[in-house]
Amino acid sequence: MEIVHVYVRRRGDFGRQSHFSDRPAELLVDIGPDPPLADGFIHRDPRDVATQSAQEMSEHQVNTERFESESRGINHVEGGWPKDVNPQEMEQTIRFRKKVEKDENYVTSVLQLGSVMENCIKQNNATDIYQDYSEDEEAADEVQEPPAAKTVNVFRDPNEVKRTVTGLSWHPDGNRKLAGAYSCLEFQKASKDMSFDSYIWDIENPNRPELTLKPVSPLVCLEYNPKDCHTLAGGCYNGQIAFWDTRRGSQPVELSSVEQSHRDPVYKLIWMQSKTGTDAFSASTDGQVLWWDMRRLSEPTERLVLDLSREGSLDAALGASALEFEATMPTKFMVGTEQGLVLSCNRKAKSPAEKIVCTFDGHHGPVYALQRNPFFPKNFLTVGDWTARIWSEDIKESSIMWTRYQTSYLMDACWSPVRPAVFFTVKMDGVLDVWDVLFKQNEPTLSIKVCDEGLYSLRLQESGRLLACGSRLGGASLLELGPSLSTLQRNEKSLVAAMFERETKREKILEARQRELRLKERSRSEQSREDDGAKEADGQEDPEELIARAEADFFSAIDAEIKRRQKEEDKHREKDVCEEKEVRNGAE
Amino acid sequence: MASEVEETLKRIEGQRGVVGTVVCNADGIPIRSSLDGVATAQYARLLRKLTVMAKSAVRDIDPQNDLTFLRLRSQKCEIMVGLENEFLVIVIQNLHQ
């Protein structure tokens, strides 16, 4: 039933001022209870209702902006003595003590407690009551915690003018220190009063860097020597290489000469495995890869120009933006270029022309990071443009696995040193992505927004639990990964090996197929060339011919489809006719 | 009576692994101790604070309850604190099995 209230007003009264007045409430509708309806319900008495009157609580995690803490010592003096006893005076304290000892309470308490105490002591002496007997058994069902990571600390650039953290390196021994290279990579954005310093931080103390390194030009990359943990080498913005010894202060111990160094910022510097432990090589966008001996930085020991035409000319050379070296394969190394190519090179090649062994073409933009999987050195990870790609050395045509095109540029990536299936990438929107290829392949397993500005560099500590990433405004954040991301899972190695093999095989098949198609094309174009020899010999077709061919293909495909449909319809009709005939036969 | 107390404490100190004992009163003043002055003051002060907190925790949960014994096991030793009548008996014992 509809309840309607009608309100009438004359048209002439529209728009007039309203005169409000008070009047008592008017009952418009009164809907009484309907007794027959009540029969549909049962009266229930008593009713059991549970409520909780506990305090409502919620859990919330907050990270403070900055917490400055300092270690200090305090000297405690005895206290608690009653007013009439002077703690310095031996006599008074002794007298007080004697008084207490005579107290009845004291005696009984101590006697009582003495027996209890003895019991516990004897217990301790008998056996270790807290011994863990179930240590040897593995946990029955490993509770899979969701992957998590949380920020532990942020190390901020102490200077006024903030610079980007372009390189990070962990101390090789004990991992208590983190070295950061600070520079401004944006073209001509470096202001005049930008400091050149780079810092070494102790991860326990985020307030002040432990050591300042003062190069002649801002450092783009910085690496600890894995053999000698007091020495570091850094590549500068102006192309020079500098060598520090932390025991000898902030000035570089040695600096390479300007003429012999790179002509562009040194993007990556890696220490090599050598008997002397002082060899390193560096790569820069000027197209050269230089080998250095740290004891004599006046000139490089070896030089390689990344020229694909094998002529060694700097003009045609490709700029290098990433470098990779695996200690288990000391003669091979890989270079990632600005042009998106990855070059695999052999150091021990006989002639400079043979140094570049093969190329992998995959990215549309500069390759910013390049790293081999620590467990499967045949597969390596590259990051450039908006994707991260995993490659196998055997397949040169394309990567075996790749991520979707992300929304922002990827700047750096690295594999986890403990889990072969996990790698990390950082992006320009300040997000750190953790990818677990065994868990999810089309999107990151975990995405954490570390900061608002872009993240430029990333480094994992060898234990696999701590991660440092550097941002554009000079903040190096230290994150701790949850246990599920930093402990090797069961069967992980074999699963990852199987996955890489599978993908490699797939790519191989695709490559073989491509080659077949290309051969067919070539043979077809050769045939057509034989037929009319006047055609151009390079096999390229004009656009018109292409269009004509495309149209012909299209129409023939449509005709084929129409014919097929016709045939099917005819078949159906025949069937119907047959059935009718049968029915009629049957009916007769 | 005082000698009995002495005897008890001596017996405790003589047990294997015991580093020292401290007896202190409600205000944290060490009455008797087998350790040197600095260590005594430290143990008395710190453990007094801890037992007050522990006692209040126990009584928050159940006001009829009261703290009688506190055992603090650490990597190198075990500190046992017995409470009675506002007096504390603290024993430090080394663990090495």
| Nearest by CB: A107 against B1, B45, B80 | B1
Q: Considering only CB atoms, which chain A residues are within 8 Å of B83?
A: 113
| Nearest by CB: A114 against B12, B25, B69 | B12
| Nearest by CB: B91 against A121, A125, A127 | A121
Q: Which residues contact A273 (CB under 8 A, 6 or more apart)?
A: A327, A330
How far is it, in rounded angstroms, from Cα B18 to Cα B78? Answer: 9
Specify whether the CB–CB gap between A305 and A313 falls below 8 A: yes
Distance from CA of B16 to the nearest CA of A (A): 7
pTM for this one?
0.61
**Terminal Cα distance for chain B, rounded:** 36
How far is it, in rounded angstroms, from Cα A141 to Cα B59? Answer: 37
Q: Do B5 and A111 touch (CB under 8 A)?
A: yes
Q: Considering only CB atoms, which chain A residues are within 8 Å of B52?
A: none
Pairing of strands A387-392, A231-236: unpaired
How many contacts, defined by CB atoms under 8 Å, are there between A and B? 96
Which 3 state secondary structure label does DSSP give B2? helix
Q: Do A114 and B11 touch (CB under 8 A)?
A: yes
- DSSP annotation of A275 reads S
Per-residue tens of pLDDT for chain A, all 588 residues: 677 888 888 888 888 888 888 989 988 888 888 888 888 888 888 888 777 666 677 778 777 766 677 777 776 666 667 777 666 777 887 888 888 888 888 888 888 888 888 888 888 888 776 777 766 655 555 566 777 888 888 888 888 888 888 888 888 887 788 888 888 877 777 677 788 888 888 888 888 888 888 888 888 888 888 888 888 888 888 888 888 888 888 888 888 888 888 888 888 888 888 778 788 888 888 888 888 888 888 888 888 887 777 666 677 778 888 888 877 777 888 888 888 888 888 877 777 666 777 888 878 888 888 888 888 888 888 888 888 888 888 888 788 888 888 888 888 988 888 888 889 999 989 899 998 888 888 888 888 888 888 888 898 888 888 889 998 888 888 888 888 888 888 888 888 888 888 888 888 888 888 889 989 988 888 877 666 554 444 445 577 888 888 888 888 888 888 898 888 888 887 776 666 666 566 555
Provide φ and ψ at A464, rounded to 5°: 85, 0
Length of chain A: 588
Alpha helices by DSSP H, A439-491: 483-486
Q: Do B31 and A108 touch (CB under 8 A)?
A: no
Mutate to test the interface with A, among B1, B19, B27, B51 (most CBs of A within 10 A): B1
CA dihedral over A239, A241, A247, A249, signed as positive or negative? negative
Distance from CA of A91 to the nearest CA of B (A): 14
Q: Considering only CB atoms, which chain B residues are within 8 Å of A119?
A: none
B27 touches chain A (CB under 8 A): yes
How far is it, in rounded angstroms, from Cα A197 to Cα A185? Answer: 15
Q: Considering only CA atoms, which of A228, A202, A199, A225 is closest in space to residue A211?
A: A199
Pairing of strands A266-271, A241-245: unpaired
Partnered with residue A332 across adjacent β-strands are A346
* ipTM confidence: 0.72
CA neighbours closer than 13 Å in the CB half-sphere of residue A421 = 24
Q: Considering only CB atoms, which chain A residues are within 8 Å of B16?
A: 125
Q: Considering only CB atoms, which chain A residues are within 8 Å of B95?
A: 124, 128
Burial classification of residue B48, based on how many CB atoms lie within 10 Å of its CB (0-12 exposed, 13-18 middle, 19 or more buried)? buried
B4 touches chain A (CB under 8 A): yes
Is-cis flag, bond preceding A300, omega within 30? no
